[in-house]
C-alpha cells in the first residue's frame, strides 16, 4: 500500500514541558491506526500537527500529492444558527460540483450519519448528534486520510456501533485517538502508544488492540530484564572502579569507558521506566444494611414522553448495576431520581436512614473552573482528610498524577482527563454507601480506566453506572438495566444479553432501503417527471440495494486471508471496490435528482 503521510523527528513542547521528542510515524492507504497514551502525552497535539493545524518545534512531514485530509476534534463547534445541511454544504463549497452532484454528496453524507432531516439546527442537537455531524462534515469532503480525536465521547452505544461500521467499511485511511478498548479492537488494524518510556517515544504493533497488549507486555518484560541485567553489570563495574585500576593501561581505560556507557544506558532505561498510575480508592462506610435503596413502581415523563413506567429494583451492598439505553432514554434522569435531585411522577424511592450517596456528574458542574487545582482537589490549607488521616496536598495531588507546581493553576486550564481525575479525587474524600457514576470514563486514559475499574469492583457498597465503555461495563457490573425511552425497561445479566435482545426486536431479515433524502431548503420543489424518469425512479431503490450488495461482497472478499496475503489480488479488489462505491454514489445522486 502506498504511503499517504509520514513524519520524522517530530518534537513539541509547551513552555518548559516537552510533550514528545523525535517521533517518526507513517500511515498508508487503507490503514486504520489507533493511537493511545496517557493524558498529557501529546496525542491530540500530534494529531493537530499531522493534520496541518499546528506546527511542530522540529522534524519534518511528508505527504503524497493531492492527499485530502479530514480532522474531527474532541469538541465539535458549528457556526451559530446553521442547519445540519448547511454545515455539510459549507464543507464542500469549494468542490467543483454541479447542483445535482452537490445535492447527492450532501444527501449521502447526512444519510450515512443517520440524519433524516437536514433542516435541524445545530444548537438543538445533543452531544452525540453533534459528534455524528462533525464526522459527516469531514466524510462529505471525501478524505484520503481522516484524523479522529476521541470520536466515541458523547456517542451512545448505537452511535459507537454506527461509527465502527462506518470506519471498517470506508476506503479512506484513519488515525483514531481513543480510550474505548472494544472500539479499538473492532476497528483498527494497527496500534501505537505515545509514551516517553519507549526508546523512540512511540511503540507500534500491527494488529488490533488485544494483539498490541500482548506485544507490549513482551516488550516491557524484555526491557525490565535488560534493566536488571544492566544494573548487575553496573554494580560490578562500580566495584571495580572503586578498587582502582593498578595501571592506566589501554585495557583499563577501555573498561572504564565501557563502565561509563553501561551507566548511561542504565540511567536512560530507568528514566524511561513505566510511570505510576492514579491511585483511586472510593471510601465506603461501615453500614451493614441489607437494603440500601428500594425503587418501587417508579415512572417519569419528560416533554410528554414516558421515559420509564413501573420501574422496580433493589440496591444492596455489592450490587453494581449498569444502565443502558440510547441517548435520551432517561439514564441521567434516573440517576438524579436515585440521588434525590428529581421526584418521580409515580412510585417511590425508599432510601436507608442516613444513606450516603456520592454522585459523579458527567457535566462536571460540581467543578468550579475558577478554583485552583489545590482547591479543586479538596485541600483545606496544605492537607486533605482521607480515611480520617491527614494527607499533605502535594502527596494527594501525586496520587492523581499532578505535580506540585500545578497546584496553583486554575482548573479551567486542565485537560478533560485531568478535570475528571480532580472530580474523582474530591469524591474519594466522601464516605459512601452508594456511588452514582454518570459517564466517568470520558477523557480518562487507559491506565486510569484500569485503576478505576479495580476500585469500582472492590467497592463494598452499591454502584449504579452509566457508561458507553462496554469493556468497563462488562468487567464491573453484576447486572444491567436497559431503558428504551418509551416507558419499557428490562433487567439483564450483562451487556451482551441486552444487545442480543435489541437485535431480536428488529426484523430478522430487515428490508435494506436507502435512507430518504433529508429535507433541504436549498433543493427546489419537485418537477413533473416524464414516463421514463418515473419508471427509473420506481426502480432506483432496488438498483441501489443491488449496488450496495455488490460493494459489501467486495469488502468481504478483501477481508479473506487468501486475498489479504495476495498483493496483486488485494489491489484489484481495492480498485473494484472504488468503482462499486462510485456506482452507489452516482445512483444516490440520480435518485436525489429525480426526487427534486
- What the block records as the C-alpha cell of 415 is 485537560
pLDDT for residue 591: 76
Does the pLDDT value for residue 246 go beyond 70? Answer: no
What is d(CA 473, CA 450) in angstroms, rounded to the nearest whole number?
12
284 vs 60 pLDDT, higher one: 60
- Residue 566: pLDDT band (50, 70, 90) is low
Mean pLDDT of 565-569: 61
Q: b/e map of 354-367 (b: 16 or more CB within 10 Å)?
A: ebbbbbbbbebeeb
Distance CA 56, CA 45 (A): 9
- Angle between helices 250-271 and 209-243 in degrees, nearest 10: 140
Please say if the pLDDT value at position 222 is more than 80: no
Does 524 have pLDDT greater than 60? no
Parallel/antiparallel/unpaired status of strands 293-302 and 434-438: unpaired
Please give the full DSSP string across 253-291, using - where no structure is assigned.
HHHHHHHHHHHHHHHHHHHTSPPP-----PPB-----S-
Measure the CA–CA gap between 552 and 347, rounded to whole angstroms: 49
Which contiguous run of DSSP H or E holds residue 453?
A: helix 446-458
Q: Beta 346-351 vs 293-302: how paired, if at all?
A: antiparallel
Q: What is the pLDDT of residues 145-186, one digit of tens each?
A: 999 999 998 888 888 999 999 999 999 999 999 999 999 999
- The secondary element (H helix, E strand) that includes residue 396 is helix 393-399
Q: For residue 4, what pLDDT is reported?
A: 94
Give which of 421, 465, 433, 431 is closest to 279, Cα–Cα.
Answer: 421
Residue 305's φ and ψ, nearest 5 degrees, are -115, 130
In this prediction, residue 488 carries a pLDDT of 92
Q: Which residue would you say has higher pLDDT here, 20 or 584?
A: 20
Of 570 and 361, more confident: 361
What pLDDT, on the 0 to 100 scale, is given for residue 400?
83
Distance between CA atoms of 153 and 128, rounded to whole angstroms? 8
Alpha-carbon span 151 to 132, nearest angstrom: 9
pLDDT of residue 307: 93
- The residue with greater pLDDT, 524 or 346, is 346
pLDDT of the residue at 249: 54
Question: 10 Å Cβ neighbour count for 283?
Answer: 17
> 202 with 194: CB under 8 angstroms?
yes
pLDDT at 347: 95
Predicted local confidence at residue 247, as pLDDT: 47
* Domain layout of the chain by residue ranges: 3-68+143-213, 293-492, 531-595
* CATH code at 3-68+143-213: 3.40.50.300
DSSP of 549-560 = HHHHHHHHHHHS
Give the pLDDT confidence score for residue 267 in this predicted structure: 62
Model confidence at 535: pLDDT above 90: no
pLDDT digits (tens, 9 = 90+) for 383-394: 888 877 888 888
DSSP letter (8 states) at residue 321: E
C-alpha–C-alpha distance, residues 118 and 585, integer Å: 18
**293-492 to CATH, choices 3.40.50.460, 3.40.50.300, 3.20.20.70, 1.10.1740.10:** 3.40.50.300
**pLDDT of amino acid 277:** 64
Nearest to 483 by CA among 124, 157, 128, 155: 157
Q: How do residues 128-138 score in pLDDT, each as one tens digit? A: 889 999 999 99
Q: What is the dihedral of CA 174, 179, 180, 181, to 10 degrees?
A: 90
Which set of grid coordinates corresponds to residue 529? 417527471
Picking from 436, 442, 483, 470, the residue whose alpha carbon sits closest to that of residue 456 is 436
Burial of 372 (0-12, 13-18, 19+ CB in 10 A): middle
Q: What is the chain's mean pLDDT, rounded?
A: 82
Residue closest to 575 by CA, chosen among 171, 260, 208, 201: 171
What would the pLDDT profile of 251-283 be if each residue is shown by its tens digit? 565 656 666 666 666 566 555 555 566 677 777
Residue partners of 227: CB distance under 8 A and separation at least 6 = 266, 269, 270, 273
pLDDT above 80 (res 546):
yes
Q: Which grid coordinates are listed for 169?
A: 467499511
Rounded to whole angstroms, the Cα distance separating 593 from 421 reads 52
Confidence (pLDDT) at 522: 37
Q: Answer yes or no: is pLDDT of 496 > 90.
A: no
Lookup: cell for 437: 457514576
> Three-class SS of residue 545?
helix
**In the block, which residue shows the cell 413502581?**
297
Residues in Cβ contact with 64 at an 8 Å cutoff, skipping those fewer than 6 apart:
2, 3, 4, 5, 144
Same fold, 3-68+143-213 and 293-492: yes
Residue 510, pLDDT above cutoff 90: no
How much is the average pLDDT of 308-329?
91
Closest CA to 433 of 330, 358, 519, 541: 358
Residues in the chain: 596
The residues, ordered by sequence, that sit 6+ positions from 536 with a Cβ below 8 Å of its Cβ are 590, 594
pLDDT at 52: 94
Arithmetic mean of pLDDT, 40-67: 92
Res. 50 pLDDT band, cuts 50 70 90: very high
- pLDDT, position 518: 45
What pLDDT, on the 0 to 100 scale, is given for residue 529?
A: 58
Are the C-beta atoms of 132 and 159 separated by less than 8 Å?
Answer: yes
Tell me: the pLDDT tens digits for 89-125? Answer: 999 988 888 888 888 888 888 988 888 888 999 988 8
Please state the φ and ψ torsions of residue 19, each to the nearest 5 degrees: -80, -55
Q: Which helix (H) or strand (E) holds 433?
A: none
Degrees to nearest 5, angle at CA 454 with 389 and 281: 15
Cβ pair 316, 355 in contact under 8 A: no
Number of helices and strands in the chain (H, E): 18, 20
Lowest mean pLDDT among 153-167, 184-198, 377-391, 515-529: 515-529
274 or 46, higher pLDDT? 46
pLDDT digits (tens, 9 = 90+) for 30-39: 999 999 988 8
User: How does strand 69-72 pair with strand 145-149?
Assistant: parallel
> What are the backbone angles phi and psi of residue 505, rounded to the nearest 5°?
-70, -20
Contact present, 480 and 498 (Cβ < 8 Å): yes
Q: Which helix (H) or strand (E) holds 510?
A: none
Amino acid at each position: 500500500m502506498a504511503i499517504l503521510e509520514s513524519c520524522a523527528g517530530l518534537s513539541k513542547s509547551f513552555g518548559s514541558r516537552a510533550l514528545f521528542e523525535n517521533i517518526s510515524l507513517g500511515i498508508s492507504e487503507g490503514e486504520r491506526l489507533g493511537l493511545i497514551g496517557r493524558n498529557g502525552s501529546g496525542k491530540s497535539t500530534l494529531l493537530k500537527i499531522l493534520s496541518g493545524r499546528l506546527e511542530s518545534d522540529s522534524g519534518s512531514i511528508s505527504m503524497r500529492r493531492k492527499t485530502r485530509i479530514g480532522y474531527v476534534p474532541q469538541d465539535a463547534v458549528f457556526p451559530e444558527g446553521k442547519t445540519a445541511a448547511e454545515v455539510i454544504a459549507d464543507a464542500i463549497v469549494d468542490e467543483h460540483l454541479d447542483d445535482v452532484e452537490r445535492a447527492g454528496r450532501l444527501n449521502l453524507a447526512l444519510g450515512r450519519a443517520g440524519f433524516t432531516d437536514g433542516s435541524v439546527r445545530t444548537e438543538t442537537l445533543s452531544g452525540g448528534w453533534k459528534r455524528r455531524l462533525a464526522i459527516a462534515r469531514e466524510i462529505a469532503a471525501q478524505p484520503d486520510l481522516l484524523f479522529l480525536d476521541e470520536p466515541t465521547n458523547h456517542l451512545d452505544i448505537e452511535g459507537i456501533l454506527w461509527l465502527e461500521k462506518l470506519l471498517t467499511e470506508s476506503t479512506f485511511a484513519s488515525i483514531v485517538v481513543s480510550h474505548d478498548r472494544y472500539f479499538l479492537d473492532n476497528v483498527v488494524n494497527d496500534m501505537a502508544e505515545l509514551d516517553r518510556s519507549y526508546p523512540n517515544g512511540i511503540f507500534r504493533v500491527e494488529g488490533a488492540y488485544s494483539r498490541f497488549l500482548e506485544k507490549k507486555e513482551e516488550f516491557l518484560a524484555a526491557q525490565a530484564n535488560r534493566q536488571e541485567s544492566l544494573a548487575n553489570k553496573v554494580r560490578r563495574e562500580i566495584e571495580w572502579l572503586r578498587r582502582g585500576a593498578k595501571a592506566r593501561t589501554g585495557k583499563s581505560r577501555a573498561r572504564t569507558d565501557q563502565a561509563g556507557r553501561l551507566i548511561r544506558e542504565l540511567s536512560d532505561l530507568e528514566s524511561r521506566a513505566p510511570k505510576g498510575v492514579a491511585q483511586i480508592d472510593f471510601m465506603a462506610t461501615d453500614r451493614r444494611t441489607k437494603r440500601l435503596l428500594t425503587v418501587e413502581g417508579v415512572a417519569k415523563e419528560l416533554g410528554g414522553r414516558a421515559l420509564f413506567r413501573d420501574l422496580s429494583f433493589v440496591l444492596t451492598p455489592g450490587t453494581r448495576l449498569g444502565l443502558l439505553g440510547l441517548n435520551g432514554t432517561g439514564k441521567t434522569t434516573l440517576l438524579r431520581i436515585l440521588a434525590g435531585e428529581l421526584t418521580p411522577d409515580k412510585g417511590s424511592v425508599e432510601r436507608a436512614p442516613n444513606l450516603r450517596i456520592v454522585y459523579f456528574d458527567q457535566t462536571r458542574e460540581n467543578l468550579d473552573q475558577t478554583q485552583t487545582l489545590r482547591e479543586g482537589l479538596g485541600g483545606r490549607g496544605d492537607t486533605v482528610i482521607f480515611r480520617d488521616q491527614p494527607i499533605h496536598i502535594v502527596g494527594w495531588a501525586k496520587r492523581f498524577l499532578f505535580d506540585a507546581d500545578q497546584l496553583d493553576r486554575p482548573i479551567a486550564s486542565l485537560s478533560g482527563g485531568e478535570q475528571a481525575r480532580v472530580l474523582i479525587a474530591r469524591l474519594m474524600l466522601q464516605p459512601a454507601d452508594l456511588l452514582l457514576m454518570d459517564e466517568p470514563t470520558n477523557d480518562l486514559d487507559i491506565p486510569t480506566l484500569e485503576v478505576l475499574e479495580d476500585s469500582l469492583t472492590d467497592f463494598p457498597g452499591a454502584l449504579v453506572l452509566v457508561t458507553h465503555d462496554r469493556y468497563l461495563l462488562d468487567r464491573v457490573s453484576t447486572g444491567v438495566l436497559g431503558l428504551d425511552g418509551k416507558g419499557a425497561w428490562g433487567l439483564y445479566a450483562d451487556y451482551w444479553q441486552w444487545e442480543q435482545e435489541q437485535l431480536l426486536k428488529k426484523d430478522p431479515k430487515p428490508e435494506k432501503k436507502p435512507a430518504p433524502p433529508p429535507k433541504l431548503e436549498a433543493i427546489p420543489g419537485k418537477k413533473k417527471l416524464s414516463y421514463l424518469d418515473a419508471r427509473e425512479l420506481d426502480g432506483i431503490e432496488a438498483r441501489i440495494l443491488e449496488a450496495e450488495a455488490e460493494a459489501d461482497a467486495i469488502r468481504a472478499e478483501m477481508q479473506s486471508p487468501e486475498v489479504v496475503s495476495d498483493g496483486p489480488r488485494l489491489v484489484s479488489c481495492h480498485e473494484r471496490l472504488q468503482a462499486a462505491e462510485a456506482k452507489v454514489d452516482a445512483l444516490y445522486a440520480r435518485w436525489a435528482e429525480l426526487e427534486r
